[in-house]
């Protein structure tokens, strides 16, 4: 059964790989891509999304720009990780086309309401501003969306502070809105994504494909490795956002645990922290779960097969 998804992203090296995984997997039907200011400005990440579509030879898929800044706080990008362009380390091909005029929030609402109930899945891999605004503008999407599978947060670690992950930290108010709606929500956080490391063996497999897209991904991983070594003390870079898509491709690639989740808005040391309540058992009405363990081999097999399929 194919899964219809809207990819809400801020490319970003790992967002780009998430797009490639989604487009290169037959079981995933990407209805549209929406963008949000995050890793870089809205303008840059929108252009980046369209350039990635060119790499994937998909010039029909539409890209809808959304919110340029968080609901409450000042915008904060991540040039130390993703560079000035948001996708440093590769030569960006010409965008596959112009962005759409329709706003991402309107597109999300329209698409969810036009499709049969329980058929559209939202996959946010950036700050949650677009999703939060869509919920406030049209609350009926909550019971109509099939599920939300997001990359963000972490129950035991942060990367933008000791306790908070970037996507949540830059717009915690939006995250708070999204986490507190009663839709099925899977948090694919740092606890999981730090297991998705692009090791030299993985790079070898990608090199063996020998395609343009493979070369593009290798360029992305090379830059990402350097920034992760310099800034985060990692030997190999974790491709966070692709994990959310991988879970949808085949949920057995990830183990999950059902736990209540919330987002801290006020702590002096904990703003943007995702708080998971692991005390057993989760209440009957709990609709949230966290990703816990990744099958590394299976994950990278999916990604390499997708790269081989798109070009």
**Residue 90 class from Cβ within 10 Å (0-12 exposed, 13-18 middle, 19+ buried)?**
buried
Burial 171-191 (b: 16+ CB within 10 A, else e): bbbbbbbbbebebebbbbbbb
Q: Give SS3 for 70.
A: coil
The closest residue (CB) to ligand PIR is: 166
When asked if residue 273 is in the footprint of ligand PIR (CB under 6 A), the reply is no
Under 8 Å between Cβ of 74 and 36: no
153 binds, among ligand PIR, Ca ion, none (CB under 5 to 8 A by kind): none
- Smallest gap from residue 167 Cβ to Ca ion (A): 6
- Smallest gap from residue 88 Cβ to ligand PIR (A): 13
When asked if residue 21 is in the footprint of ligand PIR (CB under 6 A), the reply is no
Under 8 Å between Cβ of 160 and 166: yes
Under 8 Å between Cβ of 107 and 208: no
Q: Tokens at residue 42, please?
A: 């809205």
> Does 13 participate in catalysis according to the annotation?
no
Phi, psi values for residue 85, rounded to 5°: -80, -20
When asked if residue 125 is in the footprint of ligand PIR (CB under 6 A), the reply is yes
Q: Tell which residue, 78, 1, 93, has the closest CA to residue 37.
A: 78
Q: Which of 52, 151, 254, 271 binds ligand PIR (CB under 6 A)?
A: 151
- Smallest gap from residue 124 Cβ to ligand PIR (A): 9
**Which residues contact Ca ion (rule: CB under 5 A)?**
10, 12, 15, 125-126, 241
159 binds, among ligand PIR, Ca ion, none (CB under 5 to 8 A by kind): ligand PIR
When asked if residue 159 is in the footprint of ligand PIR (CB under 6 A), the reply is yes
Stretch that binds ligand PIR, among 8-16, 26-34, 59-67, 250-258 (CB under 6 A): 8-16
When asked if residue 167 is in the footprint of ligand PIR (CB under 6 A), the reply is yes
311 binds, among Ca ion, ligand PIR, none (CB under 5 to 8 A by kind): none
Return the axis-axis angle of helices 200-209 and 212-232, rounded to nearest 10°.
160
Cα Dmax for the chain:
52
# of chain residues touching ligand PIR (CB under 6 A): 16
Query: Which among 13, 194, 240, 296 is annotated as catalytic?
Result: 240
Q: Tokens at residue 19, please?
A: 């797009």
Name the site residues for ligand PIR (rule: CB under 6 A).
Answer: 12, 14-15, 39, 78, 81, 125-126, 151, 159, 165-167, 232, 240-241
Q: Which residues are catalytic?
A: 240
């Amino acid at each position: 059964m194919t899964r219809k998804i809207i990819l809400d992203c801020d490319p970003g090296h790992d967002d780009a790989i998430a797009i490639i995984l989604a487009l290169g997997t037959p079981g995933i039907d990407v209805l549209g891509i929406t963008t949000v200011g995050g890793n870089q400005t809205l303008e840059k990440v929108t252009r980046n999304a369209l350039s990635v579509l060119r790499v994937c030879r998909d010039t029909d898929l539409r890209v809808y720009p959304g919110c340029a800044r968080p609901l409450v706080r000042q915008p904060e990008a991540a040039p130390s990780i993703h560079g000035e362009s948001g996708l440093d380390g590769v030569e960006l091909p010409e965008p596959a086309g112009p962005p759409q005029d329709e706003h991402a929030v309107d597109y999300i609402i329209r698409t969810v309401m036009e499709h049969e109930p329980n058929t559209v899945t939202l996959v946010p891999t950036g700050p949650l501003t677009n999703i939060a605004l869509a919920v406030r503008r049209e609350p009926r999407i909550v019971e109509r969306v099939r599920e939300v599978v997001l990359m963000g947060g972490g129950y035991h670690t942060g990367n933008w502070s000791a306790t908070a992950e970037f996507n949540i930290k830059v717009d915690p108010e939006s995250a708070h809105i999204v986490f507190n709606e009663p839709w099925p929500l899977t948090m694919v956080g740092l606890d999981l994504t730090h297991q998705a490391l692009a090791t030299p063996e993985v790079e070898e497999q990608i090199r063996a494909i020998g395609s343009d897209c493979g070369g593009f991904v290798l360029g992305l991983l090379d830059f990402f490795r350097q920034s992760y070594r310099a800034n985060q003390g990692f030997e190999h870079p974790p491709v966070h956002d692709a994990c959310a898509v991988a879970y949808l491709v085949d949920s057995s690639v990830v183990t999950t645990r059902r736990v209540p989740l919330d987002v801290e808005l006020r702590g002096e040391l904990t703003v943007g922290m995702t708080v998971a309540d692991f005390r057993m058992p989760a209440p009957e009405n709990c609709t949230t779960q966290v990703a816990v363990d990744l099958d590394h081999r299976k994950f990278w097999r999916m990604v390499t097969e997708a790269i081989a399929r798109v070009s």
